[in-house]
Amino acid sequence: MLEQLLSHLGFYIPEVLLIILMCSLLFIEAGYGSREKGRVMVYYAAFAGLFLTAIMLCLNFGHDSMYLFSNAIVIDKFGTLAKLIMVVGTAATFIISLMVTDFERELKPEFLIMGVGVLIGGMLLVSANNFLTLYLGIETLSILSYVMASFKRSDSRSSEAGIKYLLYGGVTAGIMLFGLSHLYGVIGSIQFTEVFTVLKTVEGTKLASVLAGFLLFFVGIGYKISCFPFHMWTPDVYEGSPISVTTFFSIVPKIAGLSALIRITSIFFASNNELSEFWVLFIHLIAVATMTVGNVSAIKQVSMKRMLAFSSIGHVGFMLLGIVVIDTVGYGAILFYLLTYVFMTLVAFYITAILEDYYGTDTMASFKGLVKKHPWLAIIMSCTLFSLAGMPPFSGFVAKFNLLSAIIDKGYFSLAFIAAINSVIALYYYVMVTKYMILGDVEFSEKAKTVNFNNQLIISFLFFPIVFLGIFWEKVYTLAQNATIFLP
Amino acid sequence: MMMSLASYLVISAFLFLIGIAVILSRKSLIAILLGIELILNAAALNFVTYSRFGSQDLDGHIMTLFIIVVAAAEAAVGLAIVIRHFQLKETIHIDEVSQLKE
């Protein structure tokens, strides 16, 4: 028993490392956090820990699928790749958080600690193999997120963001649990594998209650990835939170939630029966509604943070297309999309953050005439926005193209048509920002001092993958496809 | 006297509905947090019930224990955020929490 546990722990090293990292960061912070030296120690320890975790994840990538701790956790290539993207995104967010002054410097170490905690929750969610670990993953993710949203202690907008996140999160988690409890009652197990075997044979009234259970269950996941009926919190929380927290929210919880949704779909709904047809139809409708609502609402926004929030809703709707396919091609395309989306969000939010830092506002006004003040920044921002809109030669185009080709292969022409129209709407509001930057009259005449060499260098580094993945995408795309093959 | 499965389910469904009603109708943030607790308790009761009458394994009981722990953590964090908001705005009325509208 003990030997088995230890051998299982061997495959669980990345998560264990992160837990140790979080505890040690907490101790360093509690001991020396009041001095600048202690804070620097926390930063170094956090980056070293994340780096080690990334290496361990790479080592785990070679193994086949493993079921650990009495089938509570599954380690497979798909999950490991998703976790790797999350770790990279977290590290980049930490860098952004240290470079901008969006909240008090004394609280930065706490942001890092909470960030590592959310990352642990996300990893738990990605590799969940029963309802208990799934629920724990979502709650670890959420509870720490509430605190992060209200990080700016002197600003009531920040605490309001926290309250809104908390209320939505609490209610949806409760509804999800209620659904899960009925699923457990009908099926008699919380293990995914056993649920799957029972699901193949359910019919009649049992089928109806299973459907209701899954609908309630979707509320929880849908809130985490902010898709249509549960998206109302997104713009408010994104706007109220400090901007490095906003960046974090648009990366880790999204990747974790979508990966969990992919795993659930591929385990429960892969076989062709009534249940699977219903689920496909359901996700189909949700995807169309999410895309349309996100993109149409983004048009009239003046706050950059709010616009990016609505555009992130649009992107989630687009990624849900890959789930409609119920095929590893779609899942691989989603993983690739997530990878490119991480870098695009990082660059867009970083540039917004350093401009907000100096001008004190995140409205379009700070972008007006940017090309006359900071040409390099304006070029990078325009390219990133074009990439978000899905224009070649950037990676956003490749990601959207792969998803569209996956759904056209399966014959969902109307869906592809709606997605294409949505891309045009998205292009409109992204190009509006570019227009402000290049043709707009300068509103703030002085140059932003925060646009210094260091910031521009980091932005260029983060921007590099957007171009690189747009041109040399085959290897990475094949990697993402290979990772999804072993999903059950 | 032995209570049947149905009576437990009816009670938990009522708890769930009361929780939703509290969340939708009450205007105090504290009361809304209470409503969330009611929903979580409904789910916890369901898990124990199904474990007792259905599969007879311990999964449901363990789920319930975890739900209780997580609900406590969530309530602690939630109350802390509400207190912070009260210190800044001197109110916990839900209609006052509306600065972040366009």
Q: For residue range A304-339, what is the model confidence (pLDDT) as tens digits?
A: 888 899 999 999 998 998 888 887 788 888 989 999
**Rounded Cα gap, residues A51 and A370, in angstroms:** 35
Question: How far A175 CA lies from chain B's nearest CA (Å)?
Answer: 7
Give the pLDDT band of residue A137 (cuts 50, 70, 90): very high
Please indicate, yes or no, if residue A382 is contained in any of the structural domains: yes
Phi, psi of B36 (to 5 degrees): -60, -40
**Rounded Cα gap, residues A484 and A457, in angstroms:** 34
Cβ–Cβ under 8 Å, residues A344 and A384: yes
Of A182-196, A278-292, B11-25, least confident by mean pLDDT is A182-196
Phi, psi of A68 (to 5 degrees): -110, 160
Predicted confidence at residue B102, as pLDDT, reads: 55
Residues near B64 by beta carbon (within 8 Å), at least 6 away in sequence = B44, B47, B48, B51
Please indicate, yes or no, if residue A449 is contained in any of the structural domains: yes
Cβ–Cβ under 8 Å, residues A50 and A87: yes
Identity of the residue numbered B46: N
Average model confidence (pLDDT) across chain A: 86
In angstroms, what CA-CA distances link B49 with A199, A337, B58?
Answer: 21, 42, 11
Angle at the Cα of A346 (from A343 to A351), degrees rounded to 5?
A: 130
Residues of chain B numbered 79-98 and touching chain A (CB < 8 Å): 80-82, 84-85, 88-89, 97
Q: Which tokens belong to A356?
A: 């907000």
Find the closest chain A residue to B76 by CA distance: A143
pLDDT mean over A233-240: 89
CB atoms < 10 A from the CB of A173, how many? 27
CB atoms < 10 A from the CB of A293, how many? 18
If we measure between CA atoms, which residue out of A376, A394, A378 comes closest to residue A337?
Answer: A394
pLDDT mean over A10-31: 88
Predicted confidence at residue A33, as pLDDT, reads: 66
What are residue A303's DSSP bridge partners? A363
Give the pLDDT band of residue A189 (cuts 50, 70, 90): confident
Instruction: Tell if the CB–CB gap between B78 and A132 is shorter than 8 Å.
Output: no
pLDDT at B61 over 60: yes
DSSP reduced 3-state for A109: helix
User: What is the dotted CATH code of the domain comprising B5-96?
Assistant: 1.10.287.3510
Question: How far A132 CA lies from chain B's nearest CA (Å)?
Answer: 6
Select the more confidently predicted residue: A269 or A136: A136
Identity of the residue numbered A5: L
DSSP reduced 3-state for A369: coil
**Rounded Cα gap, residues A453 and A459, in angstroms:** 10
DSSP reduced 3-state for B28: strand
Of all residues in chain A, what percent carry a pLDDT higher than 70? 99
Q: For residue range A430-462, what is the model confidence (pLDDT) as tens digits?
A: 888 888 888 877 777 777 777 788 888 888 888
Question: How far B69 CA lies from chain A's nearest CA (Å)?
Answer: 10
Give the pLDDT band of residue B1 (cuts 50, 70, 90): low
If we measure between CA atoms, which residue out of A117, A122, A154 comes closest to residue A138?
Answer: A122
Report, in angstroms and rounded to the nearest whole number, the Rg of chain A calculated over CA atoms: 22
Highest mean pLDDT among A87-91, A192-196, A363-367, A399-403: A87-91
Instruction: Tell if the CB–CB gap between A185 and B50 is shorter than 8 Å.
Output: yes
Select the more confidently predicted residue: B26 or B102: B26
Find the closest chain B residue to A138 by CA distance: B70
Predicted confidence at residue B18, as pLDDT, reads: 93
Q: Which tokens belong to A287?
A: 């995807």
**Rounded Cα gap, residues A113 and A4, in angstroms:** 31
Nearest to B39 among A175, A180, A236 (CB): A175
Please indicate, yes or no, if residue A58 is contained in any of the structural domains: no
**Rounded Cα gap, residues B45 and B13, in angstroms:** 10
The percent helix, strand, coil of chain B (3-state, each to 5) is: 80, 0, 20
Q: For residue range A356-406, what is the model confidence (pLDDT) as tens digits?
A: 888 877 788 788 888 888 888 888 988 999 898 888 888 888 888 888 888
If we measure between CA atoms, which residue out of B34, B48, B38 comes closest to residue B17?
Answer: B38
Give the pLDDT band of residue A10 (cuts 50, 70, 90): confident
Q: What is the DSSP string of A248-296?
A: HHTTHHHHHHHHHHHHHHHHHS-S-SHHHHHHHHHHHHHHHHHHHHHHH
What are residue A130's DSSP bridge partners? A191
Predicted confidence at residue A88, as pLDDT, reads: 92
CB atoms < 10 A from the CB of A57, how many? 25
**Rounded Cα gap, residues A109 and A107, in angstroms:** 6
Query: What b/e string do you get for B27-66 counting C-beta neighbours within 10 Å, with b at 16 or more?
Result: eebeebbebbbbbbbbbbbbbbbbbebbbeeebbeebbeb
Give the pLDDT band of residue A488 (cuts 50, 70, 90): low
**Rounded Cα gap, residues A413 and A200, in angstroms:** 29
**Rounded Cα gap, residues A447 and A358, in angstroms:** 9
pLDDT mean over A476-480: 81
Predicted confidence at residue B35, as pLDDT, reads: 92
Please indicate, yes or no, if residue A357 is contained in any of the structural domains: yes
Phi, psi of A466 (to 5 degrees): -60, -40
Predicted confidence at residue A391, as pLDDT, reads: 82
pLDDT at A32 over 90: no
Phi, psi of A74 (to 5 degrees): -120, 130
In angstroms, what CA-CA distances link A113 with A33, A99, A154, B99?
Answer: 12, 17, 20, 29
Predicted confidence at residue B9, as pLDDT, reads: 87
Of A61-70, A111-120, A162-171, least confident by mean pLDDT is A61-70
Instruction: Tell if the CB–CB gap between A182 and B46 is shorter than 8 Å.
Output: yes
Report, in angstroms and rounded to the nearest whole number, the Rg of chain B calculated over CA atoms: 17
pLDDT at A11 over 90: no
Q: For residue range A202-222, what is the model confidence (pLDDT) as tens digits?
A: 777 778 888 888 889 999 889
Phi, psi of A241 (to 5 degrees): -70, 155
If we measure between CA atoms, which residue out of A230, A138, A216, A137 comes closest to residue A179?
Answer: A216
Q: For residue range A244-255, what is the model confidence (pLDDT) as tens digits?
A: 999 999 999 999
Give the pLDDT band of residue A342 (cuts 50, 70, 90): very high
Instruction: Tell if the CB–CB gap between B39 and A171 is shorter than 8 Å.
Output: yes
In angstroms, what CA-CA distances link B41 with A22, A185, A210, B66?
Answer: 30, 16, 21, 12
Question: Is ipTM over 0.90?
Answer: yes
Query: What b/e string do you get for B6-20 counting C-beta neighbours within 10 Å, with b at 16 or more?
Result: eebbeebeebbeebb
Question: How far A326 CA lies from chain B's nearest CA (Å)?
Answer: 30
Q: What is the DSSP string of A43-90?
A: HHHHHHHHHHHHHHHHHHTTS--EEETTTTEEE-HHHHHHHHHHHHHH
Q: Look at chain A and report how many structural domains it folds into.
A: 1
Q: Are strands A66-68 and A73-75 parallel, antiparallel or unpaired?
A: antiparallel
Q: Which tokens belong to A316?
A: 């989630």
Chain A residues close to B64, C-beta within 8 Å = none
Domain that holds residue A471: 269-488
**Rounded Cα gap, residues A75 and B46, in angstroms:** 30
**Rounded Cα gap, residues A242 and A104, in angstroms:** 10
Q: For residue range A291-303, what is the model confidence (pLDDT) as tens digits?
A: 999 898 888 888 8
Please indicate, yes or no, if residue A68 is contained in any of the structural domains: no
CA dihedral (A302, A305, A310, A311) positive or negative: positive
Cβ–Cβ under 8 Å, residues A111 and A71: no
Predicted confidence at residue A143, as pLDDT, reads: 92
Chain B residues close to A297, C-beta within 8 Å = none
Distance of CA A257 to the CA centre of its chain: 7
pLDDT at B70 over 70: yes
